[in-house]
Amino acid sequence: MKRPTYFSLYEIALLSLFGALVFVARMALKIPLHVPGNSGILWVLPIIVGAAIVRKPGAGTYIGIVSGLLASFFGLEALHVFDILKYAAMGITIDVVAMAFGYRLDNPAVGFVAGAAGNVVKMAVNYAVHLLLGVQGTFILIGIGVSSVTHLVFGGIGGILAALIIGRLCRAGVVHQGDVPDDG
């Protein structure tokens, strides 16, 4: 007898591809702004779109873990194996926001909240890991105020873009909104 699984094969394939897309976007696309959190624009997009398509708790977390594993294995960033933590944290946060807003991620306001929250939590985990590894607190924490604002803004912009993409996918019939829960 076939055991039921939480994610279907199609969903797992889709989420894994989105996880890979996060990794590829991080590796291939660089925005030379030198402003903290600017990569959030690209980073949150696949996670939010993936969570919106699959519409199950854990979808964002799955994408985060897949992209974190890829980033760790390929040594994309300075933290290596600890990269999983920040990628997963972003996915978990987007999952939580998506659930709180009934998966209405096609709404730009919800997209902004999901993207901004994900990027800010990623920043917090990043600082925490750096402190844990003994990188001097002075230079990590100084600037965290402005950094939190820029993470919010860039993550929010990414979230709005994701919402617009999801809206287009809905209109094209790729994503079905029929089972969107009522807000209450």
Partner 1 sequence: MEFGRRVVLAVGVFVAIVAVSFLIDMAVGQVYAGAGGSTDSLLRTTTVVREDFRHGPQSWRPYATPLAIGPGDLPSGDWYLAFVELGTVPVGGNPGLARTGVVRVDYLFTDLAGTASFSVYGLRAGDGRTWTNRQSGYGTSGYYVSGTAAAGESPRWASPLEEGDRYVVEIAGSSRPVDDDVAWDTRTFWFERTGSGLDGLHITTYPAAPKGQVTETGDLEGTFYVTYTGGNVVGDLFMMVAVDRPQPDGFELRLESTFVEDDE
Binding site for partner 1 (CB under 8 A): 34-36, 77-80, 82, 97, 100-102, 104, 109-110, 113, 116-117, 120, 130, 133, 135-150, 152, 183-184
Least distance CB 79 / partner 1 (angstroms): 5
Which of 13, 142 has the CB closer to partner 1?
Answer: 142
Least distance CB 74 / partner 1 (angstroms): 13
Which of 170, 180 has the CB closer to partner 1?
Answer: 180
Which of 164, 174 has the CB closer to partner 1?
Answer: 164
Question: Whole-angstrom Cα distance, residue 171 to residue 183?
Answer: 21
Which of 77, 169 has the CB closer to partner 1?
Answer: 77
Least distance CB 124 / partner 1 (angstroms): 9
Which of 84, 117 has the CB closer to partner 1?
Answer: 117
- Residue type (1 letter), 175: V
Question: Whole-angstrom Cα distance, residue 134 to residue 43?
Answer: 26
Least distance CB 149 / partner 1 (angstroms): 6
Least distance CB 100 / partner 1 (angstroms): 6
